[in-house]
Chains A and B, each alone.
Chain A
């Protein structure tokens, strides 16, 4: 605009047109710019960038796959591929024609069979008639007639033989044609598959790549203003009715939008090093998110487990949390800081402060499981959280902290009873033990109470000594004094004792290793169940050990230690191994209680007295106490102060409340209730507080030791947790929230789940998985067996034959009544005489045994009792017997231990005697087991006799075997029950029939087969078959 064109300034206007237009022009331009900016800001959401990036990455992936596919197809030889397709199609047509031809051939043969069979039947009638006539003639005695009839009969018989021959020929022809047809059909289905495979492959990938191209349509559809039609970049959300989010006291349905950025969470294949978050598949897509998983995305979403703000589509607002920071590990700090910097730079991340449940770091993500599964349901293969549950049981967290959740109530005290401690060891040892348990027993669960980071002042160190002396004085003053003398212990041999220790099963629960670290055994901690027996000789007397291994319950009736039914000699050998000189430590011998400063002791005692009485009265009371009583008095107060009774039975502390904070809702605890003290280096989040508390329990006293009174200092003991252990425990604690999924979706409310939960508690308590494999976990003793064989010079020992049984299918396999009796007295029957490990007697009450039996039955969804089997028919029995010998079942399943020795088999290669089958096994299970043992117990040494021809289809090996002259006798034996070989073969080709026949045979040899009185079997005790009960 040139100034010349501007209208002249008129006197009645107080403003300049030109300037005004300029102002309007500029401000409207400004408005336009702001409007565009606003539109852009509204449009350019970070999640769109993420989705677009994923699209490109996925396309790249597909392109790579296509390349690989082409490479596989011999350097782009697509022309050849197409020829193959054409050829395959041609073949297919030819196959169809062949099949039609064969089918008509089969039909022809069938009609031939029919006609020849009819002919044969007619001739048979004629022959029978002739026979009758001849017989009559013989009776009449007329020679001519006899000769005539005889000739007739002769002729009829010849005719019959001819007819039979003709029929057999027709049958052979039919069988042959049918076999050819079946073979052709198999070829056809292969050809069809081949064609299908050829047709997909590259074509499929190309189509998918085309979908991901960013062409014009992509940009137009996702352009601002256009993206309301059908954008390819859009918010992915799922509405989750019933899964509430509490917003300011109002429950509203969750709407999870996580998959807006975590694009591939429900799609497999986006893992490995190529894919980084947010583009990775869920690591357990079989369990979570996937459509066919138990927790599909459409029903559970993400935030119900992970936490975070469901509706957020922005990284920072969604509530992402940094990884855990272990304050005692510089490496962890470095990683934490790097991640923090990256997040701040990339996502403008800030610590989420306004969410009740921000997203927990990946290492404790399994706490989400606890939210619904706190009833004690084993969440399949969630190592971190499951191991955490076991750690809590071993460390006895619930001894001090009430955890009012089904999985953590009703548990036994974690430590041993101290009611009879004076009969077990001596005060000097006890002092040194309490002072630092891990110095004596490196893998112990007993934590360190003393010499922690808030006990550094000289005077406090002395106070600790006073306290330990007082504790020991109290325990000894209140203890019973059973006497165990060495005199009655027979002479033992330590070498034999070592062999016994390594083979009989001790190693399922105990180590004997001064160098072992708890963390080395993570996450299979079964071998840490009982104490590490290193230095036993310096802790307890030979007399005590002998009495203990013979019968643990005589010392401690509620112990978990079972009775291994050792003979006197075995017990003596074991005692020698555990207490002889090599298993001593001079540092722990001839110890006395140290002398302590009486002034400090009196001062500590006074502090307790003053809480109850006036100063003068307290002084008088203390003065009236003799020296030793003052120690005992202080000891009692100290037991109460540290809560020793939370884990140990101690006289005078029955039924007391635990001393620690309740943890039932720790995962919901508001941040302001967590005291970080003067510590600023640890991020102020709930999970970091608990995590660091576990790693350094006295950390929040940093800089406060001199300020606080001695008794005010933090008391939580130090378990010496590794980071993995702490994360495992934390995975549970963070799941102890006050909100959980609403009751209808809460796992563990039906009777079956409850039975499982109760059973699992016992399985953990008695450490069944130390020796057995249950629910895919356990066999911990394998490491010991392997180690022993390695020491004996085997490079890669196979111990599978030595391991106690895999109980995968126990509930389906054995009868409940049998299992119940067996649990009560495992010594009565020896199932597997070749095993060195011995099933110990746990001394279960009926309730406990029922819980275990119920657990196994519930696991396999079996009813406890079964009706009686019908008596099998003679044919099935005979077939079973013949097949039993053909398959050489007795080769591995001997009639008894002695019989096995007789055939010269090495004892590690045997299987249970079948003489027990009738009393022990479930009737319906046996055929199914014989058909496919690997299905029931993966890795079992029982081979598959019925080859799996196609998935789920099995073939009977018997008919082809009967063709072998070696089995002529068996063939003879079976054939009697059939009118023809074809009929026999048809019978024997049916897998179910053959396996049933085998079961019937096994039943008959083990005392079953006839129908006993109803109900008799359910209650019958497990019989001891002759020769099968090889002792303990």
Chain B
């Protein structure tokens, strides 16, 4: 009732406003995909981190039975082992070192240059590597035999692509962070590779001499993690000052 009473009082105001009563529809379209952005130049005062990964213990790798595929066997006159622990003179290769925390809130556009995963001599080259979210990974087969690339991704979409001899290389991208994507070949069970997908470019894989180097790291405090497929992970806190390259060494213990 009260509404009706006051209705009269408010009538003029209403009439005055009827004309301007615009619609109030909510726009429910989903937010559009983001455009690609130009790469960010490294800050002038950027620093870096480098170091060596050492290993104490015995190399438990076993020889690979390449004989399962005559083509593979013919490519390996000398026996190769599973190379899970790529240790030489106490230095450990194939360790993935990356900035785990400290870059939250920053974004880094994906570089256009491609990373590569080659199937060569019935082994993956490289065995361990990092890639940025959205960066293309070119997968190729240099062997004269059938391989398939089965990426057992959990966060990203799993894929299983056969690559018979002669099929041109193809590109894949990962659109989410994932540590690590295990890649294997169902035809040659010893073939294993790992791809670390990160939203930033601050990662490196140790070489045969166990060294790594991450460049262009903006000054700040970070957690650095070293990942190894068999030996687990290790964390280290680092502080990078302006234009400073700090050293971070890791030591893994085997059995």
- Which A residues fall within an 8 A CB radius of B? 35-36, 38-39, 42, 65, 69, 71-74, 77, 80-81, 84, 194, 196-198, 200-201, 204-205, 207-208, 211-212, 217-218, 220-221, 224-226, 229-230, 232, 267, 269, 795, 798, 801, 886-888, 891-892, 903-906, 908-909, 933-934, 938-945, 947, 957, 960-964, 966-967
Contact = CB atoms under 8 A, between A and B. Distances in A.
Contacts of B75: none
Interface string B1-44: 01101110010011001101111111111111111111010000
Contact of B160 (A891, A909, A941, A966): A941
A42 B3 contact: yes
9 contacts: A74-B40, A81-B35, A218-B24, A230-B24, A934-B159, A941-B186, A943-B162, A943-B186, A960-B168
Contacts of A795: 230
A888 B2 contact: no
Contacts of A204: 27, 29, 31-32
Contacts of B166: 960-964, 966-967
A65 B160 CA distance: 35
Interface string B156-198: 0011111011111010000000000000101101000000000
Contacts of A934: 158-160
A801 B34 CA distance: 40
B152 interface: yes
Contacts of B28: 267
A221 B162 contact: no
Contacts of B162: 887, 943-945, 957
Given A35-B5, A74-B38, A221-B21, A229 B14 contact: yes
B216 interface: no
A226 B186 contact: no
A887 B146 contact: yes
Contacts, number: 161
Contacts of A941: 150, 160, 186
Given A80-B38, A888-B145, A908-B189, A230 B68 contact: no
A232 to B, nearest CB: 4
A53 to B, nearest CB: 15
Interface string B90-115: 00000000000000010101000000
Given A38-B2, A80-B38, A938-B158, A225 B189 contact: no
B106 to A, nearest CB: 8
Contact of A904 (B67, B105, B170): B67
B107 A72 contact: yes
B243 interface: no
B148 to A, nearest CB: 4
Nearest to A43: B3
B69 interface: yes
Contacts of A200: 32-33
B152 A73 contact: no
Interface string B202-241: 0000000000000000000000000000100000000000
A479 B167 CA distance: 71
B27 A65 contact: no
A221 B24 contact: yes
B120 to A, nearest CB: 16
A906 B107 CA distance: 45
Contact of B164 (A36, A205, A224, A945): A945
Contacts of B187: 888, 891-892, 909
Contacts of B164: 886-888, 945, 957, 961
B26 A212 contact: yes
Given A225-B6, A947-B170, A940 B160 contact: yes
Which secondary structure dominates chain B's binding surface?
Answer: loop
A892 B186 contact: yes
- By CB atoms of chain B within 10 A, which of A211, A221, A888, A903 has the most? A888
A814 to B, nearest CB: 22
Contacts of B170: 947
A798 B192 CA distance: 12
Contact of B25 (A211, A226, A798, A938): A211
Contacts of A962: 166
Contact of B34 (A197, A886, A904, A909): A197
Give chain B's interface residue range (CB within 8 Å of chain A): 35 or more
A226 B159 contact: no
A38 B4 CA distance: 12
Given A207-B27, A961-B164, A964-B165, 19 more contacts: A35-B5, A39-B3, A72-B34, A73-B35, A194-B35, A197-B33, A204-B29, A212-B26, A224-B6, A798-B152, A886-B164, A888-B146, A891-B146, A892-B186, A909-B189, A947-B170, A960-B166, A960-B168, A966-B144
B167 A230 contact: no
Contacts of B13: 226
Nearest to A88: B35
B40 A225 contact: no
B17 A220 contact: yes
Interface in B124-161: 144-146, 148-150, 152, 158-161
Given A42-B3, A204-B31, A934-B160, A225 B36 contact: no
Contact of A84 (B24, B35, B145, B149): B35
Nearest to A209: B27
A906 B68 contact: yes
Which 7 A/B pairs are nearest by Cβ-Cβ distance? A200-B32, A964-B166, A943-B148, A943-B162, A888-B146, A961-B166, A232-B24
A198 B26 CA distance: 22
A941 B30 CA distance: 36
Contacts of B3: 39, 42, 224-225
B33 A211 contact: no
A39 to B, nearest CB: 4
A96 to B, nearest CB: 21
Contacts of B30: 269
B137 to A, nearest CB: 14
Contacts of B149: 943
Contacts of A84: 35
A32 to B, nearest CB: 10
B107 A69 contact: no
Contacts of B34: 69, 72-73, 197, 201
Nearest to B148: A943
B146 A904 contact: no
Contacts of B67: 904
Nearest to B13: A226
Contact of A226 (B10, B23, B33): B10
A564 B32 CA distance: 56
Contacts of B160: 933-934, 940-944
A909 B165 contact: no
Contacts of B14: 225-226, 229
A128 B29 CA distance: 69
A965 B230 CA distance: 41
A42 B2 contact: yes
A854 B69 CA distance: 42
B23 A230 contact: yes
B57 to A, nearest CB: 15
Contact of A65 (B31, B65, B105): B31
Contacts of B146: 887-888, 891
B189 A906 contact: yes
Contacts of A225: 3, 6-7, 10, 14
A943 B150 CA distance: 7
Nearest to B68: A904
Given A42-B2, A938-B158, A944-B162, A961 B167 contact: yes
Nearest to B84: A795
B37 to A, nearest CB: 5
Contacts of A943: 148-150, 160-162, 186
A947 B167 CA distance: 10
B20 A217 contact: yes
Contacts of A71: 105, 107
Contacts of B158: 934, 938-939
Nearest to A193: B33
B36 A194 contact: yes
